[in-house]
Structure 1
Amino acid sequence: MSADPPRHVLILGGTTEARRLAEALAGDPSYRVTTSLAGRVSAPVLPPGEVRIGGFGGVTGLAGWIVAHDVTHVVDATHPFAERMSFHASEAQAFTGVPLLALRRPGWSPGPGDDWHFTDSLAETSVRLPELGGRAFLTTGRMGLHAFAHLADTWFLVRSVDPPDAPVPPRLEVLLARGPFTLDSERELLARHRIDVLVTKDSGGSATAPKLTAAREAGIPVLVVRRPPVPEGVAEAQCPRAALEWLARTPG
């Protein structure tokens, strides 16, 4: 009797959690793993296993790829703010019946001494920002800078892996860097640029969290964009280990 073929796991990746899950699955002969990357970063850190780069062509393209490649499980381990891709994954699950898990690291929570102000969108953030400061450290990613392009009186320090595309704020300095970042370096950065307000998304994780501690120590307010919810009905896990447990108990 022939052995069962390995189960094919499609990881919608781009996060540390996605890479760690791929690393765990790559050493298990009962799984075949393919990680899909959006291709928005010029030199991504590639995980082990098979890798595909680029979009699927919407919901129908994703569903077609899942069926054509005999995918047995899909793990949506995209960035917590990759709302469109998560919606596409949920819709593809409805079309194909292939089990779907959303792998989302926990979000951040304010602690004693934090001065956090929550918003629901970048547009809302741009309205509230001038009330809190005039020299902003903007760490919401290069794709959303157009939301702040009209703020001519605010000076921005933007940190991203790749240079941003226009439109961007007129008073802008770009720092090209990839995390993780240390607390000492974040303290120095805030002081050197005389930052008086930090803007971030609730991405969670430890790689970029030191900026929050540095802001608290400096008494700087923080504008935090809330993350969108996981699509209704989709199973969730907060770490790669929990995702492995889901894969082990979920037939495909």
Structure 2
Amino acid sequence: MPTVLLLGGTGEARRLASVLPPYRVISSLAGRVADPARPAGEVRIGGFGGPAGLAAYLRAERVDAVVDATHPFAARMSANAAEACSATGVPLVVLRRPGFECKPGDDWRRVPSLEAAAAMLPGIAGRIFLTTGRQGLAHFAHLTEQWFLVRCVDPPVPPVPPRLEVVLDRGPFTVDGETELLARYDIGVLVTKDSGGAMTAAKLDAARARGIPVVVVDRPPVPPGVAVVSTVDEVIAWLCAARR
């Protein structure tokens, strides 16, 4: 029975884990969320110790293929996977859902990084809905004049912006709910990563309806030379081809 190491706790990764038998599937979660949604099959939680540690794990578990289904912004893990698979000769495919699509009526301001997003905010609005995750809040901690609404799964830890309100919640979200949230807090600008996916896309529809600008942080590039697909079905087809 082939062994597949499935990296990531995304919705796509959980769906993939549930449909891959007769493979032996090992799902690896980073452990950054206190109560993650657990996929089917074997689960390991925590890091590998860099590319060398991951390569050692691939050899020890006799992994036949690796599927990188991590979050589109998990650049370090993707780089580690590419290096470890190159060192061991284990085939690797990256599953990346399509990014968000800019639609008529949107007012998007694309930036290459969280630092660039923070630098842009003082010139746009004073009340900001920040949906980039709790780990990147340090990039906004120096903004003392702006007020932030932050939504995340677990409570953030310092450094964080001094004027901050936190909403603990997990998607999927609805357009009606997001519209009400923007109105209740009188939000003037939305900041989001281009993570894609239906679970969090409603905020973009709500921002469009209210005429609110959106600062969109672009994705980091996928490591060069790695196969990239965008759907669970494409991963299954790739795995079947890799076995031939």
Please report the TM-score for the alignment, with normalisation by the length of structure 2. 0.99
- SS of the aligned residue for 1:250 comes to helix
**1:233 aligns to what SS in structure 2?**
coil
Which of 182, 193, 201 is the equivalent residue of 1:190?
Answer: 182
Shift of 1:132: 1.1
What is the aligned partner in structure 2 of residue 3 from structure 1? Answer: none
Q: Which amino acid aligns with 1:229?
A: P
Q: Distance in 2 between matches of 1:14 and 1:45?
A: 7
Residues in 2 aligned to 1:244 and 1:224: alpha-carbon distance in whole angstroms: 31
The residue identity in structure 1 corresponding to 2:222 is V
Does residue 92 (structure 1) correspond to residue 87 (structure 2)? The answer is no
Q: Matches of 2:9 and 2:133 in 1, distance apart? A: 14
Q: Deviations over 1:147-179 (max 9, x none)?
A: 000000000000000000100000000000000
The residue identity in structure 2 corresponding to 1:239 is T
Conserved? CA contact 2:9–2:39, under 8 Å: no
Residues 91-130 of structure 1 mapped to structure 2, 5 A cutoff: 91-130=83-122
Aligned pairs (5 A) from 1:171-250: 171-250=163-242
1:8 — aligned with what?
3
- Runs (4 or more) in structure 1 with deviation over 3 Å come to none
CA distance in 1, matches of 2:229, 2:239: 11
SS of structure 2 residue aligned to 1:157: strand
* Distance across 2 between alignment mates of 1:130 and 1:222: 14
Gaps of 5+ in 2: none
Corresponding residue SS for 2:236: helix
1:35 is matched with which residue: 24, 27, 42? 27
Cα distance between partner residues in 2 of 1:14 and 1:149: 28
Out of 128, 135, 147, the residue aligned to residue 139 of structure 2 is 147
Alpha-carbon deviation of 1:94?
1.2
Match of 2:172, SS state, is coil
Once residues 20 and 228 of structure 1 are traced to their aligned partners in structure 2, the CA distance between those partners, rounded to angstroms, is 24
Structure 1, unmatched stretches of 5+, are 1-5
Counterpart CA distance in 1 for 2:73 and 2:123 is 25
3-state SS of 1:213 partner: helix
Q: Which secondary structure does the structure 2 equivalent of 1:117 belong to?
A: strand
Question: Which residue does the alignment assign to 1:168?
Answer: 160
Query: Could you say what secondary structure the match of 1:247 adopts?
Result: helix
Identify the match of residue 59 of structure 2 among 53, 67, 79. Answer: 67
Alignment deviations for residues 82-140 of structure 1 (CA, whole Å, 9 cap, x no partner): 00000000000110000000000000121100000000010111000111111000000
Q: Of residues 6, 15, 38 in structure 2, which corresponds to 1:20?
A: 15
The amino acid that maps onto 1:225 is V
Measured after TM superposition, the shift of residue 14 of structure 1 is 1.3
Task: Provide the secondary structure at the position in 2 that maps to 1:33.
Answer: strand
Corresponding residue for residue 70 of structure 2 = 78
Give the RMSD, CA atoms, in angstroms: 0.7
* Matched-pair identity in %: 62
Indicate the SS of the match to 1:118.
strand
2:34 match: secondary structure: coil
Residue identity in the other structure for 2:143 = L
Please give the TM-score of this superposition, normalised by the length of structure 1.
0.96
Task: Please give the alpha-carbon distance, in whole angstroms, between the structure 2 residues aligned to 1:13 and 1:86.
Answer: 10
Residues 56-75 of structure 1 deviation map (CA, whole Å, 9 limit, x = unaligned): 00000000000100000000
State the AA in 1 paired with 2:90: V
**What is the CA-CA distance between 1:251 and the residue it aligns to?**
2.7
Q: Which amino acid aligns with 1:51?
A: V
